[in-house]
Amino acid sequence: MTRLRDHYFPGTEPLGPDEMRVVALGTGRPFVRRAQANTSFLIELGNGDIFMMDFGAGSQKNFTALNIPYEDVTGYFVTHLHADHVGDFANVWVGGWAGGRLRAMEVWGPSGAVPEHGTKHFVETQVASYAWDTMTRVGLLPEAGQHVIVHEFDYATPATIYERNGVVIKAFPAVHIYDGPVSFRLEWNGLVFVFSGDTTPSRFMLEHGAGADLLIHEAFNTISQLMARSGYDERTAIGIGTIAHSSPEEAGKLLADLRPRRAVLYHHFNDFDTAPEIEREVRKAYDGPLDLARDLMVWTVTPQQVVTRMAVVTDHAWPNTEDHAAFRAATRAERPKMSSFLSDAILFPKGS
Ligand SMILES: [Zn+2]
Ligand SMILES: [Zn+2]
pLDDT of residue 352: 61
Percentage of residues in the chain with pLDDT exceeding 90? 91
Question: Is residue 39 in a domain?
Answer: yes
pLDDT of residue 310: 98
Question: Is residue 73 in a domain?
Answer: yes
**Ligand 2 midpoint to CA 11 (Å):** 30
Q: What's the CATH number where 60 sits?
A: 3.60.15.10
Q: Where are the beta strands (DSSP E) in the chain?
A: 20-26, 40-45, 50-53, 75-77, 105-110, 148-153, 159-164, 167-173, 182-188, 191-195, 214-218, 262-266, 290-292, 297-301, 306-310
pLDDT of residue 125: 98
Question: Is residue 4 in a domain?
Answer: no
Number of domains in the chain: 1
- The helix/strand/coil state of 145 is helix
129 burial (CB, 10 Å; 0-12 / 13-18 / 19+) is exposed
- Cβ pair 98, 90 in contact under 8 A: no
Provide the pLDDT confidence category of residue 322 given band limits of 50, 70 and 90: low
Residue 75 structural domain: 20-331
pLDDT of residue 282: 98
Half-sphere exposure of 267 toward its Cβ, with a 13 Å CA cutoff? 26
Question: Is residue 343 in a domain?
Answer: no
- Kindly report, residue by residue over 11-55, the tens digit of the pLDDT: 999 999 999 999 999 999 999 999 999 999 999 999 999 999 999
Question: Is residue 71 in a domain?
Answer: yes
**Ligand 1 midpoint to CA 274 (Å):** 21
Question: Is residue 7 in a domain?
Answer: no
User: Which listed ligand is nearest to 81 at the C-alpha?
Assistant: 1
Please provide the average confidence, as pLDDT, over all residues in the chain: 96
**Ligand 1 midpoint to CA 118 (Å):** 14
Q: Which of 258, 177, 275, 161 is nearest to 217 (CA)?
A: 258
**Ligand 2 midpoint to CA 322 (Å):** 33
Cα distances (angstroms) measured from residue 194 to each of 53, 164, 202, 209, 269? 11, 18, 14, 6, 21
Percentage of residues in the chain with pLDDT exceeding 70? 99
- Kindly report, residue by residue over 304-314, the tens digit of the pLDDT: 999 999 999 99
- Kindly report, residue by residue over 247-303, the tens digit of the pLDDT: 999 999 999 999 999 999 999 999 999 999 999 999 999 999 999 999 999 999 999
Provide the pLDDT confidence category of residue 118 given band limits of 50, 70 and 90: very high
**Ligand 1 midpoint to CA 335 (Å):** 40
**Ligand 1 midpoint to CA 324 (Å):** 39
User: Which listed ligand is nearest to 59 at the C-alpha?
Assistant: 2
Residue 58's contacts (CB-CB under 8 Å, 6 or more residues apart) are 26, 32, 37, 38, 87, 88
Backbone angles phi, psi at 144, to 5 degrees: -60, -30
pLDDT of residue 2: 74
Cα–Cα–Cα angle for 189, 194, 199, rounded to 5 degrees = 165
Question: Is residue 350 in a domain?
Answer: no
**Ligand 1 midpoint to CA 82 (Å):** 5
Provide the pLDDT confidence category of residue 327 given band limits of 50, 70 and 90: confident
How large is the C-alpha radius of gyration of the chain? 21
Question: Is residue 9 in a domain?
Answer: no
Cα–Cα–Cα angle for 232, 238, 243, rounded to 5 degrees = 135
**Ligand 2 midpoint to CA 329 (Å):** 40
**Ligand 1 midpoint to CA 84 (Å):** 7
**Ligand 2 midpoint to CA 6 (Å):** 30
- Cβ pair 151, 172 in contact under 8 A: no
- Cβ pair 22, 301 in contact under 8 A: yes
- The pTM is what? 0.97
Provide the pLDDT confidence category of residue 321 given band limits of 50, 70 and 90: low
- Cβ pair 154, 147 in contact under 8 A: no
**Ligand 2 midpoint to CA 293 (Å):** 14
Q: Which amino acid is at 199?
A: T
pLDDT of residue 319: 80
